[in-house]
Amino acid sequence: NLLGLRKAPLQGKRALVTSGPTYEPIDPVRYIANRSSGKQGHAIAAALARLGAETILVSGPTREPDPLGVTVHHIESAREMLGACEAALPVDIAVCAAAVADWRVADASDQKLKKDGSGSAPTLQLATNPDILAGLAAAGAKRPKLVIGFAAETEKLIEHAQGKLARKGCDWIIANDVSSGSGTFGGDSNLVHLITRSGAEAWPRMSKLEIADRLAQRIAETVSTTTH
Ligand code: CTP
Ligand code: CA
């Protein structure tokens, strides 16, 4: 055009990103959670929005500010995250970066649990949470064209990540090496491999912001070549 500006590569596309931990209630005042910071997921949502995608971020509780130009739905539990993701469909791109709790308390109490005076401790019965990534990848007619997950592994990185790719039916996995030495859980940089059906590609150690930009760029190349 006149200004020499190129159209944003993801203009007209809708993207869904999950980020952060989930909180699974035990009773009205207590919960089970994990140490996810939400930094990587929030950075990915921001990067997709910068490339022009209409971006919806479904996030558990984090200290991250809402990214600019992104519609953010704040949820707590895995089941709330699932509901918000389903409500966001249809989308062209889904990136599941959240550290979804694998289990919730099966029968969370409506009232605060009290010590019974005998010194005995309650036993928590757990139930398995829905797998949001696998659900999106199996959404039939509503399946996003590109479904991307993360895998944080401490050993057999590629092997475990390829297993997850197959099991969950997604298109790509960002395999994150969190073994001690390379591990930066909660930190600002990541050592990742991009796993696709055709193989594994090692990325150099980068900040989470750089990983987000590179991933968004890759998504833009893929989505525009497969739909036009
Ligand atoms: N994931 C999800 N819903 C869940 C569990 C995981 O959407 N209930 C997604 C995560 O957001 C991530 C991917 O699945 O993109 C892999 O998560 P991970 O915890 O590594 O895999 P799990 O299948 O839960 O296996 P495990 O924790 O036993 O390694
Ligand atoms: Ca898990």
Which ligand 1 atom sits nearest the alpha carbon of residue 101?
8
The per-residue pLDDT string of the chain (228 residues; one tens digit each, 9 = 90 and over) reads: 566 677 899 999 999 999 999 999 999 999 999 999 999 999 999 999 999 999 999 999 999 999 999 999 999 999 999 999 999 999 999 999 999 999 999 999 999 999 999 999 999 999 999 999 999 999 999 999 999 999 999 999 999 999 999 999 999 999 999 887 664 556 788 899 999 999 999 999 999 999 999 999 999 999 987 544
Which ligand 1 atom sits nearest the alpha carbon of residue 78?
8
Ligand 2 center from residue 49 Cα (angstroms): 27
Annotation-wise, does 131 bind a ligand?
A: yes
Which ligand 1 atom sits nearest the alpha carbon of residue 150?
15
Please say whether the beta carbons of 193 and 200 come within 8 A.
yes
Taking the mean position of all CA atoms in its chain, how far away is CA 21?
A: 9
Q: Residues with Cβ < 8 Å from 26, sequence gap 6 or more?
A: 32, 105, 108, 109, 113, 124
Annotation-wise, does 92 bind a ligand?
A: no
Ligand 2 center from residue 152 Cα (angstroms): 9
Annotation-wise, does 188 bind a ligand?
A: no
How far is 92 from 50, CA to CA, in rounded Å? 16
Ligand 2 center from residue 101 Cα (angstroms): 6
Q: Which numbered ligand comes closest to the C-alpha of 128?
A: 1
Please say whether the beta carbons of 20 and 72 come within 8 A.
no
Ligand 1 center from residue 121 Cα (angstroms): 30
Of the candidates 97, 98, 38, the one whose C-alpha atom is nearest the C-alpha of residue 62 is 38
Instruction: Note the pLDDT of residue 2.
Output: 65
Strands 206-207 and 189-190: antiparallel
Residue of 22, 32, 148, 168 with the most ligand 1 atoms within 8 Å of its CB, for mutation: 168
Q: Which numbered ligand comes closest to the C-alpha of 131?
A: 1
Q: Residue 105 CB: number of other CB atoms within 10 A?
A: 18
Query: Is 34 annotated as catalytic?
Result: yes
30 φ/ψ angles, rounded to the nearest 5 degrees:
-130, 150
Q: Which numbered ligand comes closest to the C-alpha of 22?
A: 1
Q: Is 30 helix (H, G, I), strand (E, B) or coil?
A: strand
Instruction: Note the pLDDT of residue 142.
Output: 96
Q: Is 176 helix (H, G, I), strand (E, B) or coil?
A: strand
